[in-house]
Amino acid sequence: MTETKPAREPSTGLIEDALFTRIKNRVGKAIHDFNLISEGDRIAVAVSGGKDSYAMLHMLDTLRRRAPVRYELVAINIDSGYRGYRADIIEEHLKEHGFTYHMEKTEHYDIISEKRRPNSSYCSICARLKRGTLYTLAQQMGCNKLALGHHMDDFIETLLLNQFFVGSLKAMAPSMLADNGVTTVIRPLVYVPEKEIIPFSRNNRFPVVCCCCPVCGTADLQRKKMKELLETLERDNPLVKRSLLKALSNVHPRHLLDKGLTRIPS
Ligand SMILES: Nc1ncnc2c1ncn2[C@@H]1O[C@H](COP(=O)(O)OP(=O)(O)OP(=O)(O)O)[C@@H](O)[C@H]1O
Protein backbone atom coordinates (compact mmCIF):
# COMPACT_ATOMS: atom_id res chain seq x y z
CA MET A 1 0.00 0.00 0.00
CA THR A 2 1.33 3.48 -0.82
CA GLU A 3 1.48 6.02 1.97
CA THR A 4 -0.60 9.14 1.29
CA LYS A 5 1.22 12.36 2.15
CA PRO A 6 -0.88 14.98 3.98
CA ALA A 7 -1.87 17.78 1.60
CA ARG A 8 -0.31 21.24 1.81
CA GLU A 9 -2.64 24.22 1.66
CA PRO A 10 -1.63 26.04 -1.56
CA SER A 11 -1.98 29.58 -0.15
CA THR A 12 0.08 29.02 3.02
CA GLY A 13 2.20 26.05 1.95
CA LEU A 14 1.44 24.38 5.30
CA ILE A 15 0.06 20.96 6.14
CA GLU A 16 -3.33 21.77 7.61
CA ASP A 17 -3.90 18.81 9.94
CA ALA A 18 -5.27 18.61 13.51
CA LEU A 19 -1.98 19.88 14.98
CA PHE A 20 -2.04 22.90 12.65
CA THR A 21 -5.60 23.69 13.79
CA ARG A 22 -4.70 23.32 17.47
CA ILE A 23 -1.73 25.70 17.19
CA LYS A 24 -3.71 28.15 15.04
CA ASN A 25 -6.46 28.23 17.67
CA ARG A 26 -3.97 28.81 20.48
CA VAL A 27 -2.33 31.70 18.61
CA GLY A 28 -5.77 33.12 17.76
CA LYS A 29 -6.79 32.94 21.43
CA ALA A 30 -3.60 34.72 22.54
CA ILE A 31 -4.19 37.48 19.97
CA HIS A 32 -7.73 37.87 21.28
CA ASP A 33 -6.97 37.62 25.02
CA PHE A 34 -4.11 40.11 24.96
CA ASN A 35 -5.25 42.28 22.07
CA LEU A 36 -1.97 41.59 20.27
CA ILE A 37 -2.95 42.77 16.78
CA SER A 38 -4.96 45.77 15.62
CA GLU A 39 -6.15 47.07 12.25
CA GLY A 40 -3.27 48.58 10.26
CA ASP A 41 -0.46 47.05 12.30
CA ARG A 42 2.83 46.45 10.55
CA ILE A 43 4.57 43.70 12.47
CA ALA A 44 8.26 42.88 12.35
CA VAL A 45 8.50 39.13 12.91
CA ALA A 46 11.88 38.13 14.36
CA VAL A 47 12.97 34.97 12.55
CA SER A 48 16.11 33.30 13.88
CA GLY A 49 15.99 30.17 11.75
CA GLY A 50 14.80 28.15 14.76
CA LYS A 51 11.58 26.12 14.90
CA ASP A 52 9.72 28.57 17.15
CA SER A 53 10.08 31.67 15.04
CA TYR A 54 9.32 29.79 11.81
CA ALA A 55 6.13 28.46 13.45
CA MET A 56 5.20 31.96 14.63
CA LEU A 57 5.77 33.53 11.22
CA HIS A 58 3.69 30.93 9.39
CA MET A 59 0.86 31.08 11.93
CA LEU A 60 0.68 34.88 11.83
CA ASP A 61 0.60 34.65 8.04
CA THR A 62 -2.16 32.02 8.09
CA LEU A 63 -4.29 34.12 10.43
CA ARG A 64 -3.59 37.26 8.41
CA ARG A 65 -5.10 35.66 5.33
CA ARG A 66 -8.29 34.80 7.22
CA ALA A 67 -8.61 37.68 9.68
CA PRO A 68 -11.13 40.50 9.36
CA VAL A 69 -8.38 42.81 10.67
CA ARG A 70 -5.79 43.94 8.11
CA TYR A 71 -2.15 43.77 9.14
CA GLU A 72 1.23 43.37 7.45
CA LEU A 73 4.22 41.18 8.30
CA VAL A 74 7.91 41.83 7.69
CA ALA A 75 10.24 38.97 8.62
CA ILE A 76 13.55 40.19 10.03
CA ASN A 77 16.67 38.15 10.65
CA ILE A 78 19.93 39.02 12.38
CA ASP A 79 23.17 37.35 11.46
CA SER A 80 25.39 37.82 14.52
CA GLY A 81 28.47 36.85 12.53
CA TYR A 82 29.03 33.35 13.94
CA ARG A 83 30.96 31.26 11.45
CA GLY A 84 28.74 28.66 9.77
CA TYR A 85 25.40 30.44 10.37
CA ARG A 86 23.25 29.70 7.31
CA ALA A 87 21.32 32.92 6.84
CA ASP A 88 21.11 31.97 3.16
CA ILE A 89 18.89 28.96 4.00
CA ILE A 90 16.54 31.20 6.00
CA GLU A 91 16.42 33.76 3.21
CA GLU A 92 15.66 31.06 0.66
CA HIS A 93 12.69 29.88 2.76
CA LEU A 94 11.33 33.42 3.20
CA LYS A 95 11.65 34.06 -0.52
CA GLU A 96 10.06 30.75 -1.47
CA HIS A 97 7.00 31.55 0.69
CA GLY A 98 6.70 35.08 -0.63
CA PHE A 99 7.34 36.89 2.66
CA THR A 100 8.50 40.48 2.80
CA TYR A 101 11.80 40.25 4.68
CA HIS A 102 15.01 41.93 5.75
CA MET A 103 18.29 40.17 6.52
CA GLU A 104 20.73 42.10 8.72
CA LYS A 105 24.40 41.16 8.91
CA THR A 106 25.98 42.47 12.12
CA GLU A 107 29.34 42.40 13.89
CA HIS A 108 27.90 41.20 17.19
CA TYR A 109 30.38 38.33 17.44
CA ASP A 110 33.36 40.71 17.22
CA ILE A 111 31.77 43.07 19.76
CA ILE A 112 31.10 40.19 22.19
CA SER A 113 34.62 38.80 21.76
CA GLU A 114 36.07 42.21 22.55
CA LYS A 115 33.74 43.43 25.30
CA ARG A 116 32.69 40.34 27.27
CA ARG A 117 34.21 40.11 30.75
CA PRO A 118 35.59 36.70 31.76
CA ASN A 119 32.89 34.57 33.46
CA SER A 120 30.03 36.82 32.32
CA SER A 121 27.20 35.06 30.50
CA TYR A 122 27.71 34.76 26.75
CA CYS A 123 23.99 34.38 26.07
CA SER A 124 22.89 37.48 27.94
CA ILE A 125 25.21 39.87 26.06
CA CYS A 126 24.37 38.20 22.73
CA ALA A 127 20.62 38.45 23.46
CA ARG A 128 20.94 42.10 24.54
CA LEU A 129 22.74 43.07 21.33
CA LYS A 130 20.20 41.17 19.23
CA ARG A 131 17.25 42.75 21.03
CA GLY A 132 18.65 46.27 20.46
CA THR A 133 19.14 45.56 16.75
CA LEU A 134 15.64 44.08 16.46
CA TYR A 135 14.09 47.25 17.93
CA THR A 136 16.13 49.45 15.60
CA LEU A 137 15.26 47.35 12.55
CA ALA A 138 11.56 47.24 13.43
CA GLN A 139 11.54 51.05 13.50
CA GLN A 140 13.56 51.33 10.29
CA MET A 141 11.14 48.98 8.53
CA GLY A 142 8.21 51.14 9.62
CA CYS A 143 6.83 48.49 12.00
CA ASN A 144 4.92 49.46 15.13
CA LYS A 145 5.16 45.94 16.59
CA LEU A 146 7.87 43.30 17.00
CA ALA A 147 6.83 39.64 17.36
CA LEU A 148 9.12 37.25 19.26
CA GLY A 149 8.84 33.45 19.20
CA HIS A 150 8.77 32.69 22.93
CA HIS A 151 6.35 29.84 23.64
CA MET A 152 4.47 28.58 26.70
CA ASP A 153 7.44 26.64 28.10
CA ASP A 154 9.64 29.75 27.84
CA PHE A 155 7.14 31.70 29.96
CA ILE A 156 6.96 29.00 32.64
CA GLU A 157 10.69 28.32 32.76
CA THR A 158 11.38 32.06 33.07
CA LEU A 159 8.87 32.28 35.93
CA LEU A 160 10.66 29.48 37.81
CA LEU A 161 14.15 30.79 36.99
CA ASN A 162 13.30 34.20 38.41
CA GLN A 163 11.91 32.68 41.60
CA PHE A 164 14.70 30.16 42.15
CA PHE A 165 17.72 32.22 41.13
CA VAL A 166 16.80 35.92 41.04
CA GLY A 167 14.33 36.29 43.90
CA SER A 168 11.61 37.93 41.89
CA LEU A 169 8.12 36.94 40.82
CA LYS A 170 8.00 37.63 37.09
CA ALA A 171 7.88 35.86 33.76
CA MET A 172 7.42 37.61 30.38
CA ALA A 173 4.71 39.85 28.99
CA PRO A 174 2.60 38.71 26.03
CA SER A 175 2.50 42.38 25.00
CA MET A 176 4.53 45.32 26.26
CA LEU A 177 5.97 48.61 25.13
CA ALA A 178 9.70 48.25 24.54
CA ASP A 179 12.24 50.47 26.27
CA ASN A 180 12.54 52.57 23.10
CA GLY A 181 9.01 53.80 23.88
CA VAL A 182 7.66 53.22 20.37
CA THR A 183 7.74 49.50 19.55
CA THR A 184 5.25 47.10 21.10
CA VAL A 185 6.75 43.66 21.65
CA ILE A 186 4.27 40.81 21.23
CA ARG A 187 4.62 37.08 21.94
CA PRO A 188 1.85 35.28 20.04
CA LEU A 189 3.05 31.75 21.00
CA VAL A 190 2.34 32.26 24.72
CA TYR A 191 -0.30 29.47 24.74
CA VAL A 192 1.61 27.07 22.47
CA PRO A 193 3.61 24.35 24.23
CA GLU A 194 7.01 23.43 22.80
CA LYS A 195 5.92 19.80 22.42
CA GLU A 196 3.45 20.94 19.73
CA ILE A 197 5.94 23.18 17.91
CA ILE A 198 8.50 20.37 17.51
CA PRO A 199 6.28 18.07 15.37
CA PHE A 200 4.69 21.06 13.60
CA SER A 201 8.12 22.25 12.49
CA ARG A 202 9.17 18.72 11.50
CA ASN A 203 5.95 17.97 9.53
CA ASN A 204 6.28 21.20 7.58
CA ARG A 205 9.99 20.69 6.98
CA PHE A 206 10.98 24.14 8.21
CA PRO A 207 14.68 24.51 7.37
CA VAL A 208 15.93 24.91 10.95
CA VAL A 209 19.48 26.22 11.17
CA CYS A 210 21.89 26.22 14.10
CA CYS A 211 22.71 29.62 15.64
CA CYS A 212 26.41 28.56 15.52
CA CYS A 213 27.43 30.63 18.57
CA PRO A 214 30.43 29.29 20.52
CA VAL A 215 28.20 28.03 23.38
CA CYS A 216 25.34 26.68 21.26
CA GLY A 217 23.63 23.75 22.98
CA THR A 218 25.80 23.90 26.10
CA ALA A 219 24.73 27.19 27.64
CA ASP A 220 21.91 27.97 30.02
CA LEU A 221 22.26 25.03 32.38
CA GLN A 222 19.80 26.61 34.80
CA ARG A 223 17.08 26.66 32.15
CA LYS A 224 17.88 23.04 31.37
CA LYS A 225 17.39 22.23 35.05
CA MET A 226 13.98 23.93 35.01
CA LYS A 227 12.99 21.83 31.99
CA GLU A 228 14.03 18.66 33.83
CA LEU A 229 12.19 19.70 36.98
CA LEU A 230 9.02 20.39 35.01
CA GLU A 231 9.29 17.03 33.23
CA THR A 232 9.57 15.26 36.59
CA LEU A 233 6.60 17.15 38.02
CA GLU A 234 4.58 16.46 34.87
CA ARG A 235 4.88 12.72 35.45
CA ASP A 236 2.78 13.08 38.63
CA ASN A 237 0.63 15.93 37.42
CA PRO A 238 0.28 16.23 33.63
CA LEU A 239 -1.43 19.61 34.08
CA VAL A 240 1.41 21.23 36.01
CA LYS A 241 2.49 23.53 33.14
CA ARG A 242 -1.08 24.62 32.46
CA SER A 243 -1.43 25.43 36.16
CA LEU A 244 1.78 27.49 36.20
CA LEU A 245 0.68 29.43 33.13
CA LYS A 246 -2.77 29.98 34.66
CA ALA A 247 -1.07 31.29 37.82
CA LEU A 248 0.38 34.13 35.75
CA SER A 249 -3.09 35.40 34.97
CA ASN A 250 -4.49 34.75 38.44
CA VAL A 251 -2.42 36.95 40.76
CA HIS A 252 -3.52 37.78 44.30
CA PRO A 253 -1.34 40.74 45.36
CA ARG A 254 -2.78 40.79 48.90
CA HIS A 255 -1.30 37.33 49.44
CA LEU A 256 2.21 38.40 48.50
CA LEU A 257 4.85 40.36 50.39
CA ASP A 258 5.49 43.21 47.98
CA LYS A 259 4.88 46.39 49.98
CA GLY A 260 4.29 48.29 46.75
CA LEU A 261 1.29 46.08 46.01
CA THR A 262 -0.10 45.33 49.45
CA ARG A 263 -1.75 47.79 51.79
CA ILE A 264 -0.29 47.05 55.22
CA PRO A 265 -2.97 47.63 57.90
CA SER A 266 -1.92 50.34 60.35
N1 LIG B 1 19.19 35.85 14.98
C2 LIG B 1 17.93 36.23 15.18
N3 LIG B 1 17.27 36.92 14.24
C4 LIG B 1 15.99 37.32 14.41
N5 LIG B 1 15.28 37.03 15.52
C6 LIG B 1 15.87 36.33 16.50
C7 LIG B 1 17.22 35.90 16.39
N8 LIG B 1 17.53 35.21 17.52
C9 LIG B 1 16.43 35.23 18.29
N10 LIG B 1 15.41 35.89 17.70
C11 LIG B 1 14.03 36.11 18.21
O12 LIG B 1 14.02 35.98 19.62
C13 LIG B 1 13.22 34.85 20.01
C14 LIG B 1 13.80 34.19 21.22
O15 LIG B 1 15.15 33.86 20.97
P16 LIG B 1 15.83 32.54 21.52
O17 LIG B 1 17.28 32.63 21.21
O18 LIG B 1 15.39 32.32 22.92
O19 LIG B 1 15.25 31.49 20.51
P20 LIG B 1 14.57 30.07 20.63
O21 LIG B 1 13.75 29.94 21.88
O22 LIG B 1 15.58 29.03 20.32
O23 LIG B 1 13.51 30.25 19.41
P24 LIG B 1 13.72 29.93 17.86
O25 LIG B 1 13.34 28.47 17.74
O26 LIG B 1 12.78 30.86 17.16
O27 LIG B 1 15.18 30.21 17.58
C28 LIG B 1 13.17 33.97 18.77
O29 LIG B 1 12.03 33.11 18.77
C30 LIG B 1 13.11 35.00 17.67
O31 LIG B 1 11.81 35.54 17.54
Kindly give the number of the ligand 1 atom that is closest to the alpha carbon of 53. Answer: 26
Higher-confidence residue of 221 and 135: namely 135
pLDDT in the model for residue 219? 64
CA distance 129 to 211: 15
Strand pairing report for 42-46 and 72-79: parallel
Closest CA to 143 of 218, 37, 264, 227: 37
Instruction: Identify the bridge partners of residue 74 per DSSP, sorted by sequence position.
Output: 44
pLDDT in tens, 10-60: 888 899 999 999 999 999 999 999 999 999 999 999 999 999 999 999 999
CA atoms within 13 A on the CB side of 200: 27
pLDDT in tens, 134-189: 999 999 999 999 999 999 999 999 999 999 999 999 999 999 999 889 999 999 99
Length of the chain: 266
Measured in whole angstroms, how far is the alpha carbon of residue 58 from the centre of its chain? Answer: 13
Which pLDDT band holds residue 6 (cuts at 50, 70, 90)?
confident
Instruction: Ligand 1 pocket test: pick from 43, 47, 48, 76 the residue with the most ligand atoms within 8 Å of its Cβ.
Output: 48
Output the residue whose Cα is nearest ligand 1's atom 21: 150
Which pLDDT band holds residue 116 (cuts at 50, 70, 90)?
confident
Instruction: Beginning with the edge strand found earlier in the chain, give each strand of the sheet holding 42-46 in spatial order.
Output: 101-105, 72-79, 42-46, 145-147, 184-186, 175-177
Q: Is the pLDDT of residue 118 over 90?
A: no
CA distance 229 to 179: 33
Q: Is the pLDDT of residue 246 over 80?
A: yes
CB 211 within 8 A of CB 82: yes
Q: Is the pLDDT of residue 209 over 70?
A: yes
Measured in whole angstroms, how far is the alpha carbon of residue 8 from the centre of its chain? Answer: 24
Higher-confidence residue of 251 and 116: namely 251
Q: What spacing in Å lies between the alpha carbon of 78 and ligand 1's midpoint?
A: 10
Q: Is the pLDDT of residue 78 over 90?
A: yes
Q: What spacing in Å lies between the alpha carbon of 124 and ligand 1's midpoint?
A: 13
pLDDT in the model for residue 218? 75
Kindly give the number of the ligand 1 atom that is closest to the alpha carbon of 55. Answer: 26
How many CB atoms are closer than 10 A to CB 232? 10
pLDDT in the model for residue 122? 79
Higher-confidence residue of 181 and 115: namely 181
